[in-house]
Structure 1
């Protein structure tokens, strides 16, 4: 087996200090525009939804407004459905899938649910196509009280007034080749740990909550997505990214214990989607469509 080259920042086996974090930040460059890609698509939605600014990331010299789109006819008698995307800014279909759902399918559920969608939780990372925020923190390990990540803290505050009434939360993610070429090596270097390469699953899969599993719900979402794109098979060990496969395309994590976004409420139905955009068998359009199909299937199952 080829030994991976050391990450270019830091000393192997020693966790980063301020100098290493500063060197990492200096490497991050703007590669795309939050305003052009996301805010420009949110603006027309104001005609059909309430658009609320629920926070603002203060990353001098820039400030990033955070927006959620919610049902204009909010009715406290109806269940709440929460859709989140872009917790990891580099996971493109999470953001664009959430926006596409709002543009094309959300109206189908008017009068049936109270919908709230936060399509791009991490705009700084979206612009830099990165997993972490400006402070080299993974927001998707930070959804807990006194969160060190501004992105996570803002969403926690957003959902606080209706947290106990959320029926469904679906969090839209991707697994990409850069997980192995950049992000996992960077994580090991940051924390002073040894990096062990892993296998990237080829296809769509879901992460259920190991503390409160809903296998029939997860299977219903997988069945719908399978009509759009292929489902990731288990590896030779019967696993996906080191976790046991419980049914085709479904693994489980303790969502709240790990501080994952999908555990930000106590919703009965919770799941994290994972699309594989680098597959030769998938296109960006399929990845976005798979996210939309997953959201729709999740809502329809939860309502029945």
Structure 2
């Protein structure tokens, strides 16, 4: 577990006002470029997929076009799958995992599934390497119609535009040391609460839906990924980040109640991947390969068990 400190914005015990929000924004700086890292790779895929501009963000004069990719020909006889990354923009292998899957592996599923993919749901967060958006809102706790996170609302509307029943949604994430050193303390400070530290798990794990558990599906992904990288072990309490481990490398959340991204499609098979990029036992390339492996394993299982 990593050391934590008092977050430098706000007064302990008092929720943020507009003043503290402005202070927090002043601490954020662009550290990489969505238009240089991500968009050109999406453009390169546009000869194989339909590139869809499904929304636009405007934060203090900085605009970001939200892009998705989907099969050019939708076959109504085939199931539909959604692959997303970058819901939390700082989780790099999620973004890179979607792109690499599309570039190297997606053609293997042509004629088997109608594919929708969104590599970077939160480009402002990607550029600032931040969990939140410009308004200090976590998109992945706000996937609801008319919610406060523009990124989440736009993705919901994009999914609805598909007008298809989804078989699968896999959302690619990371659990990082900065969850403990920065983003957890920031959340507590924003809401005027005391921060309770949490042990960061060393390894890959999955989040299933406690209202629609699919244990065989989750284990098929774990079995594939553990050939690429190590799987997180439970802590001494039998938990991973405060949730009971229900199977090897798997915990469960109430997806709809928490307004998480994997609740928006109503798919039979849903999962959230969690890679630990700060482990001394892994590399950025291995993390991305683990994400790609998870996507392929999820598709393989779902298509074999529709």
Q: TM-score range by the shorter chain?
A: over 0.9
TM-score by length of 1: 0.98
Taking structure 1 as reference, are residues 77 and 240 closer, same or farther at Cα in structure 2, changes over 3 Å only? same
Q: How does 1:129-140 map to 2 (within 5 A)?
A: 129-140=129-140
Taking structure 1 as reference, are residues 245 and 120 closer, same or farther at Cα in structure 2, changes over 3 Å only? same
Residues in 2 aligned to 1:228 and 1:70: alpha-carbon distance in whole angstroms? 28
Name 1:89's counterpart in structure 2: 89
Q: How does 1:229-240 map to 2 (within 5 A)?
A: 229-240=229-240
Residues in 2 aligned to 1:4 and 1:303: alpha-carbon distance in whole angstroms? 44
Name 2:60's counterpart in structure 1: 60
Structure 1: tracts of 5 or more residues without a match: none
Name 1:44's counterpart in structure 2: 44
Cα distance, 1:181 vs structure 2: 0.5
Cα distance, 1:73 vs structure 2: 2.2
Residues in 1 aligned to 2:194 and 2:4: alpha-carbon distance in whole angstroms? 10
Name 1:257's counterpart in structure 2: 257
**Contact 2:4/2:180 (8 A) holds in 1:** no
Q: Look up the SS of the partner of 1:51 in the other structure.
A: strand
Calculate the aligned-residue CA RMSD, in Å: 1.2
Name 1:287's counterpart in structure 2: 287
TM-score by length of 2: 0.97
**Contact 2:5/2:181 (8 A) holds in 1:** no
Name 1:180's counterpart in structure 2: 180
Cα distance, 1:75 vs structure 2: 1.0
Residues in 1 aligned to 2:278 and 2:215: alpha-carbon distance in whole angstroms? 27
**Contact 2:5/2:185 (8 A) holds in 1:** no
Taking structure 1 as reference, are residues 4 and 88 closer, same or farther at Cα in structure 2, changes over 3 Å only? closer
Cα distance, 1:3 vs structure 2: 9.2
Name 1:299's counterpart in structure 2: 299
Cα distance, 1:4 vs structure 2: 4.8
Are residues 1:224 and 2:221 paired?
no
Are residues 1:167 and 2:138 paired?
no
Structure 2: tracts of 5 or more residues without a match: none
Residues in 2 aligned to 1:175 and 1:4: alpha-carbon distance in whole angstroms? 16
**Contact 1:73/1:111 (8 A) holds in 2:** no
**Contact 1:164/1:266 (8 A) holds in 2:** no
Name 1:7's counterpart in structure 2: 7
Q: How does 1:75-154 map to 2 (within 5 A)?
A: 75-154=75-154
